[in-house]
Chain A
């Protein structure tokens, strides 16, 4: 079978640091194999730039297997590109046509300042997890695998939510740059399991307060996050988050501190 090749025009967002304004620069990717991955195509373009003595553009990537959550850019207006439920690294050039013109932009959110070009700082997500997205458990020897019985449906639902890789595509897709899908994935993951119950009320309050303090917007129920999520995290999780949060604000006996805005 003959291999199809294509020429692609790229408009890549170039920005030196968070403080400086950025702009698009145009590059040509020529003779790209349809079998190459999207990131391999970018690597080829960057190799050409290096050979010409120019500054290659930066983008995030790590495992290239779709599980680590490092990669991600907005490709022609869709986070992670046109293929549903797929990270940028798992996207292949066979999804594109010869002559396509692609606009590559970083996740755009106040909570995710641009470090360089297509790379954004996602420490905000780490701080949201640190605020309450964990269970405080004794770290002794591993418990027996079936020590705590959990029915299959609940385990599956918790696992679906735990599949969130924290890439930030939900924030990128949201018209309000809201992080609620990310927060709700962790709330659902831990809230469905018995181990997550003791800290459930604190978790909802602390994670929401931190997400707000990071400068992410509020959810206005457009469902763009769910459509863009490479791990198909469900929008219904946000309703669970709201339920946990409202319940905790009304019923929890103690207060939690109000975090200071991060920026």
Chain B
């Protein structure tokens, strides 16, 4: 599956719903329809680079590329457990509280 480079199909409502699920965004139906329109408008705009010949060009992942950056192997204090936990909206006994994932 996937869009053909030269003839992009408009994104369907179901596809937008799927993207929202991947992005962990709970959206209303109105929002999903609005994003469907916005994504389709943008994808139309993206067409200019989809049509561009970029054969043989190495992708540039970063503005100023550095490779093999090492840091000194020196221990450094991080946050204490109390500091880290204190930022959470729900914690108990020094632990983050999350909804049950594995049922008994």
Q: Do A and B come from one complex?
A: no
Give the interface of A toward B (CB within 8 A): none
